[in-house]
Amino acid sequence: MVYLLDTDVLIFMIRGLHSGSKRQKSVMQAQRLESRCRAAQAAGHSVGLSAITVSEVEFGAMAGRDPKSDLSAVQKVLTPFDLFDYDAMQCPPSYARVRTSLEASGLPIGAMDTLIAAHALALGATLVTNNSRHFRRVPDLVVENWLE
């Protein structure tokens, strides 16, 4: 099985594990999330990130107050995960189906989220997100929230 982490989950993990967070609840949730990722990997599952998510996180690091330090933290967080390229043959048809369906329903999601959802569908992956209500609008997308 492939689990694809959404950007919000990765950012939550980065902030909780690497920012010296003083909020004990956030630190504990981030540690639980990290443990869940490791357990899935130990069970033989792939836990990875879309190139779209990596792009979003690197942009956030570059736009922050300390880009050098933030980029270093991002690279450390990326290390244990599989990285998935946005495949030019398989992802665009998924994107077209997702976007067409969401726009027809009158409930579109953001552009980056549409790309991530399409990537998860193209991979046959389960999307791990803290925004499950948002992503459940996407037909056929399997969504889990590991922070609940």
One digit per residue, the tens of pLDDT, for the chain of length 148 reads 999 999 999 988 887 776 555 667 778 888 889 999 999 999 999 999 999 999 999 999 999 888 998 888 888 889 999 999 999 999 999 999 999 999 999 999 999 999 999 999 999 999 999 999 999 999 999 999 998 8
Classify the C-alpha dihedral 95-101-103-108 as positive or negative: negative
Global pTM exceeds 0.85: yes
Domains and CATH numbers, the chain: 2-144 (3.40.50.1010)
* Crossing angle of the two packed helices 51-63 and 7-18, in degrees rounded to 10: 50
